């Protein structure tokens, strides 16, 4: 679920396409110089004498008594294997080539625009790992193929829209969501992702318009679990649940899958589906200033919040609306764009869930680790707008490392909503063939229009601005009543109106 900034044009300047050992210690094996090495430099376990240095053609660059290792520079062409054999004749040691290291995410040019990653201190979280070994399924509009900053580890995936194995994104939403989870990082291009070393499983269930159906989503959830996914992200949904989705989620949870979903963008007082199903981590959205975004759905089943953005403000004064920046690919078009929505918040949490699982968290403990370490940003304790608060990845990983068992997360007893929506500004416009009726409500609600003698017609969207268009007979007067029903089932009605 997301509100979209003008696709592929919001960032025109950006478009384009991380005690010394004794002589009885064994020789280390397996360090044969494969991969990136610093030419000629070797770490050697044991302090060599000057005679040994001369015989082996080595220069001592550094020695550390606490480590019991030194750094040595060898003559050209000397390999670790040769030094290993030579040193082993006199004393057993450990030897390995010195390898380069770099700070992660220092050369992604648009990192400075990713206020969301700063708010979550993702670089700090990477000291515990970057998600390697965990498969994350993104059930969405697919994943673009031509992006320059595409996630590094991607499985083939599957497409329920076209019925094949090519989940190429034709909308952009899925690629953006996937980037937040696992955008290729420290590659000198674009942005970073929360868990850049996870393996992505792209599953396309939404078409170019972002539309799909519950049965396809249920099949994708089941498929992801069978393919070994440990985390599933669902940045999609509606106000109504289905048994088939619920059963698919139960199936996946039975296989140890952590499921994360967006709470919805209707400013509603209840969380949408599938986020509200039991055991699903329901995620609301925050702005740059840490406040809950106005559009973010809340309620008794909301768990946590994460950065989702607000394109209507520029609180960090970087010259752009405060959306979430990632690469966007639509077919063969590619670029970078800011989006906002709980769709953007959910993958932040999915990425952190992957970091926790990769670091050894049991699936059943992930929610507790997130909620027990979240930053309380609303009224003390749980509240319906922010849940348990803003996720704190580093604190959650620290708690996991400490071995502390997270407390069981209990769903609070919801406060009963007994107040009906208030209807205002009712209007009607009629032509010879159509009748359009509109009004506003003070809270998100569904829409019904009851025509005297003709029946009742409705729109099931939970919104505050309502408008429905009907086909009518010419020169006919219609009497109708407008009705709105909120998520708690309270129904508000306004009096009878006449169309002419």
User: DSSP 3-state assignment of 42?
Assistant: strand
* Catalytic hit among 43, 108, 149, 173: 173
Distances (CA, A) of 322 to 39, 253, 287: 45, 35, 7
* Catalytic hit among 235, 296, 343, 484: 343
Across 217-245, b (16+ Cβ under 10 Å) vs e yields bbbbbbbbbeeebbbbbbbbbbbeebebb
- Please confirm, yes or no, whether 317 is among the known catalytic residues: no
Residue 173 and residue 140 in contact, taking contact as beta carbons nearer than 8 Å:
yes
**Vertex 367: Cα angle to 353 and 118 (nearest 5):** 50
Which secondary-structure segment (H or E) carries 8?
none
Contacts of 240 (CB under 8 A, 6+ apart): 273, 460
- The token pair at 372 is 């027990």
Considering just the CA atoms, what is the radius of gyration of the chain in Å?
28
Contacts of 418 (CB under 8 A, 6+ apart): 488, 490
Q: How far apart are CA 163 and CA 86, in angstroms?
A: 61
Positive or negative, the CA dihedral 56, 58, 63, 68 is negative
Contacts of 163 (CB under 8 A, 6+ apart): none
- Please confirm, yes or no, whether 47 is among the known catalytic residues: no
Positive or negative, the CA dihedral 340, 345, 347, 348 is positive
Q: Where are the alpha helices (DSSP H) in 128-242?
A: 173-182, 214-226
Which secondary-structure segment (H or E) carries 407?
none
* Catalytic hit among 84, 108, 116, 140: 140
Task: Tell me the catalytic residues.
Answer: 140, 173, 343
């Amino acid at each position: 679920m997301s509100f979209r900034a003008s696709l592929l044009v919001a960032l025109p300047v950006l478009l384009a396409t991380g005690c010394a050992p004794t002589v009885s210690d064994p020789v280390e094996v397996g360090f044969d110089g494969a991969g990136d090495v610093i030419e000629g430099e070797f770490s050697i376990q044991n302090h060599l004498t000057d005679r040994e240095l001369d015989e082996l053609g080595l220069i001592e660059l550094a020695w550390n008594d606490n480590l019991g290792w030194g750094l040595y520079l060898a003559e050209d062409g000397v390999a670790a294997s040769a030094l290993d054999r030579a040193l082993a004749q006199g004393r057993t040691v450990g030897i390995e080539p010195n390898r380069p290291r770099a700070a992660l995410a220092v050369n992604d040019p648009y990192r400075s625009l990713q206020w969301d990653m700063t708010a979550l201190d993702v670089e700090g979280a990477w000291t515990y790992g970057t998600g390697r070994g965990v498969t994350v399924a993104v059930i969405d509009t697919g994943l673009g193929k031509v992006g320059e900053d595409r996630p590094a580890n991607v499985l083939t995936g599957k497409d329920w829209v076209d019925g094949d194995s090519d989940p190429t994104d034709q909308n952009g939403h899925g690629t953006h969501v996937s980037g937040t989870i696992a955008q290729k990082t420290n590659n000198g291009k674009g942005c970073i992702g929360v868990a850049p070393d996870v393996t992505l499983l792209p599953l396309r269930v939404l078409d170019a318009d972002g539309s799909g159906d519950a049965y396809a989503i249920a099949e994708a959830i089941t498929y992801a679990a069978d393919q070994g996914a440990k985390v599933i992200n669902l940045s999609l949904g509606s106000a109504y649940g289905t048994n088939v989705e619920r059963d698919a989620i139960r199936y996946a949870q039975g296989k140890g899958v952590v499921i994360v979903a967006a709470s919805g963008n209707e400013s509603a007082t209840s969380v949408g589906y599938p986020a509200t199903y039991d055991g699903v981590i329901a995620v609301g959205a925050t702005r740059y200033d840490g406040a809950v975004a106005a559009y973010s759905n809340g309620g008794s089943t909301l768990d946590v919040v994460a950065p989702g953005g607000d394109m209507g403000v520029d609180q960090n004064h970087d010259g752009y609306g405060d959306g979430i920046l990632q690469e966007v690919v639509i077919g063969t078009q590619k670029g970078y764009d800011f989006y906002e929505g709980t769709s953007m918040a959910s993958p932040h949490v999915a990425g952190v869930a992957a970091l926790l699982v990769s670091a050894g968290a049991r699936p059943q403990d992930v929610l507790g680790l997130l909620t027990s370490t979240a930053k309380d940003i609303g009224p003390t304790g749980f509240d319906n707008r922010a849940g348990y608060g803003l996720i704190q990845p580093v604190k959650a990983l620290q708690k996991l490392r400490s071995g502390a068992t997270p407390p069981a997360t209990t769903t609070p007893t919801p406060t009963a909503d007994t107040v009906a929506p208030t209807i205002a500004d009712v209007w009607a416009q009629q032509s010879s063939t159509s009748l359009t009726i509109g009004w506003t409500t003070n809270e998100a609600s569904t829409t019904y229009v009851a025509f005297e003698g003709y029946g009742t017609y409705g729109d099931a969207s939970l919104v505050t601005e309502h408008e429905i268009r009907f086909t009518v007979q010419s020169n006919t007067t219609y009497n109708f009543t407008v009705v709105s029903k909120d998520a708690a089932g309270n129904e508000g009605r306004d009096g009878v109106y006449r169309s002419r």
